Structure 1
Amino acid sequence: MKKVISTILGLGVNIIIYVVAIFILFRAGAFAYEFSYEVFGEPVVSEYADEEIRIEIKDGDGSKTVAKKLKDAGAINSEWAFILKSRLSKANLMPGVYVVKASMSADDMIELMGDAENSVVKQPTAEELETGSAESQESGESTSDTGEGENGQ
């Protein structure tokens, strides 16, 4: 009788181990599929979302920082998928303020943020900064010569 009970218990334990192993393999496969779809597919958070989301990329922000901002704003589903996708595409995310929507794919966002011309707030170029500082110095000299300045008005 003891031999029968130990055989049944051993068989039961084996069945439980196999069920758990199959469940783990199934979940791992589902995760791999979903993640690969996020990276290599064209998923969007919502096809019908028209709400504009402003994302500011500062000088020196990498794909991790941008992905966190996009995830927090609800524009992407997975930070890691965005990071991997931007690295695979060798994206160079430019500083600026960009308007994205949850209906955009990560590829579209990467393309948008890869060109500073798409920024809604234009960043001055090095030449503009040099020209602007030279003009401000000239205008500063002319106002000091006339005696009129902020206090004189």
Structure 2
Amino acid sequence: MKGGQRDVTLRFLAEPSDVNFGGKVHGGAVMKWIDLAAYACSAGWSAKYCITAYAGGIRFVAPIQVGNLVEVSAKVIYTGRSSMHIAIDVQASDPKLLERRLTTHCIVIMVAVDEDGKSTPIPKWIPQTPEDIELRDSAIKLMNMRKEIGEEMEAHVKYLK
């Protein structure tokens, strides 16, 4: 596989088996679709097997109905040595109308690994447009915020042991 594909869109039809107790698509089903799109995107960019290292900032902004056509769009917005920050947008529509609306968005961090499960280098992504630069800068800000939150969480973890 050559690699270097920066984005991907996966499509799903929301099925009755995806429903929660409230009659809408279960958040867990949406998270599974997000993980699948993040994998397809990161593998397409790196041409390597990738694992999920982090999924955060998941915002469920509108419900998805059974029978909706769901589009999960994933795009590389930052790369490290072996990691890729993937921006995810989930949109849904009635397949007869195709008037898509944003339902969910988040950031997923994927890491390329070798046959032994060790992180392995990937191609660097270099932003080309003002929008890409803004997305990269946002990913860096979020990365720094996650580090601070992680340090704060250490205090909680030691009391749970």
Query: TM-score normalised by the shorter chain: which range applies?
Result: under 0.3
TM-score (norm 2): 0.26
Task: State which structure, 1 or 2, has the greater radius of gyration over its C-alpha atoms.
Answer: 1
Structure with more helix by fraction: 1
TM-score (norm 1): 0.27
